[in-house]
Amino acid sequence: MAKTRKLALMALLTAIALTIFVIEAQIPALVPIPGVKLGLANIITLITMCLLGKKEAGAVLLVRVLMGAMFAGSPSTLLFSAVGGLFAYLTMCLTVGFFGENRLWIVSALAGIAHNAGQLLACVLVVKTPGVFAYAPILAASGVVTGVFTGFAAQYLLKALKKLKL
Partner 1 sequence: MGAMKTKNLLWALLFAVIVLGGVLVYRSLGKGEGTVAVVSVDGEVLERIDLSKVRTPYDIPVSTPYGNNTVHVEPGAISVTEADCPDHVCIYQGRLTGSGIPIICMPHRLVIEIEGGDIDG
Among residues 1, 7, 12, 127, the one that binds partner 1 under rule CB under 8 A: 127
51/83 with CB nearer partner 1: 83
Instruction: For residue 45, give the 3-state DSSP assignment.
Output: helix
Q: Pinpoint the alpha helices (H) of 27-103.
A: 42-51, 54-71, 75-99
Q: How far apart are alpha carbons 23 and 70 in whole angstroms?
A: 14
Of residues 2-61, those binding partner 1 (CB under 8 A): 25, 28-29, 32-35
Residue 128, interface with partner 1 (CB under 8 A)? yes
Q: How far apart are alpha carbons 10 and 26 in whole angstroms?
A: 25
**What does the per-residue mask of binding to partner 1 show for 59-78, with x meaning CB under 8 A?**
-------------xxx-xx-
Q: What angle do CA 33, 23, 11 make, to 5 degrees?
A: 120
Among residues 131, 160, 164, 165, the one that binds partner 1 under rule CB under 8 A: 131
Among residues 38, 46, 104, 109, the one that binds partner 1 under rule CB under 8 A: 109
The continuous run of DSSP H or E covering 49 comes out as helix 42-51
Closest CA to 63 of 85, 32, 80: 85
Which residues bind to partner 1, rule: CB under 8 A?
Answer: 25, 28-29, 32-35, 72-74, 76-77, 80, 103, 106, 109, 113, 123, 126-132, 134-135, 137-142, 144-145, 148
